[in-house]
Amino acid sequence: MSRLPGITRDKLSTENQAVWDRIMAGRSGAGGPYGALFHVPGLADRVGAVENYFRFDGALPPTDRELVILTTARELGAHYPWNRHEIRGREAGVRTEAIEALRANGALDALTTHERLLVELARAILRRHQVSDELFARGLAELGPEKLVEMVALIGHYCLIGSIANTFGVAVAPGTVTF
């Protein structure tokens, strides 16, 4: 259960109702991290804009994006984003073997070379807060500058989302299995 009271559209000012409408367009509801973020509508608006960039305008293919999000959610122990993006990841074509390897939070033997690179980069950033020269060179060669920068920004964005979900008690539906 959320640690903050829920916000409804009708409780917002006219200006902030426009923010609500902009964010909720294309989303399934006002729950999740936005249940907390709407306590600061201007911030919610900006976070939503960044999220929309990744979803609709980003250079990373959907499978790569979802794999990176799942890795980040798993590293943060963030059940809500994991749950949402396990669903989206499967829809985008992320292989079950990759999802299960991340769920187990262990060896990456079942991953393809490309999947392994994405997970190794994300884990290095999240666990050690840096990337070795060798791993950076492999990432740059495989992804190019645009996708590599976008990937690092996506990790940062989902650190924000995961932190909000964890701090404010954003829960998954009862009976949902995450990790």
- Examine the domain organization and report whether 91 and 115 are in the same domain: yes
- Examine the domain organization and report whether 49 and 70 are in the same domain: no
Least trusted range by pLDDT, from 22-36, 67-81, 134-148: 22-36
What confidence tier does 1 reach under pLDDT thresholds 50, 70, 90?
Answer: low
- Examine the domain organization and report whether 51 and 87 are in the same domain: no
pLDDT at res. 146: 98
3-state secondary structure 94-141: CCHHHHHHHHHCCCCCCCCHHHHHHHHHHHHHHHHCCCCHHHHHHHHH
Backbone conformation region of residue 77, classed left if phi is above 0, alpha if psi is from -120 to 50, else beta: left
Q: At residue 72, does pLDDT exceed 90?
A: yes
How many separate domains does the chain show? 2
CATH number at residue 79: 1.20.1290.10
Are 64 and 139 in contact by the 8 Å Cβ rule? The answer is no
**Coil, strand or helix at 77:** coil
Please indicate, yes or no, if residue 122 is contained in any of the structural domains: yes
Q: At residue 31, does pLDDT exceed 90?
A: no
> Of 164, 162, 175, which Cα lies nearest the Cα of 68?
162
- Examine the domain organization and report whether 71 and 139 are in the same domain: yes
Please indicate, yes or no, if residue 178 is contained in any of the structural domains: no
Q: Which domain holds residue 22?
A: 9-57
Please indicate, yes or no, if residue 3 is contained in any of the structural domains: no
> What percentage of residues in the chain have a pLDDT greater than 90?
91
Joined together, the tokens standing for residue 51 give: 């999220």
Q: From CA 149, how far away is CA 171, in angstroms rounded? A: 30
